[in-house]
Amino acid sequence: ELKVEQNPLFLSMQEGKNYTIYCNYSTTSDRLYWYRQDPGKSLESLFVLLSNGAVKQEGRLMASLDTKARLSTLHITAAVHDLSATYFCAVDSRGGATNKLIFGTGTLLAVQP
């Protein structure tokens, strides 16, 4: 059974600082997704990573995938308050056959001024 773990679960950081969120998963998959969720809102897709070594960047966020290590990272550069949200990684449990995603428990990011 596929398990997806994120750490840290909670991250408080100051504006302007850099940090990385980690996502580990337990079985082979080469499809990984990052989502953002604001309080009381639904999930917004951030990144789609579809192969080993994939790297995507959008603004102050950069995501990468290492399928051999079963690890994805979400790197935050020079954080700003607007990035405060909960971030989820999700892994396709069947390599794209069904798009059934298994989500991690999430990382609550709080960016302090």
Binding residues for other proteins, per CB under 8 A? 4, 31, 33, 35, 41-45, 48, 50, 88, 90, 92, 96, 98-106
Cβ closest to other proteins, residue 44 vs residue 82: 44
Q: How far is the CB of 32 from other proteins (least distance, A)?
A: 10
Number of other residues whose CB lies within 10 A of the CB of residue 90? 21
d(CA 37, CA 98): 23
Cβ closest to other proteins, residue 14 vs residue 51: 51
Q: How far is the CB of 62 from other proteins (least distance, A)?
A: 18
Burial of 18 (0-12, 13-18, 19+ CB in 10 A): exposed
Q: How far is the CB of 90 from other proteins (least distance, A)?
A: 8
Dihedral sign from CA coordinates of 103, 26, 63, 95 = negative
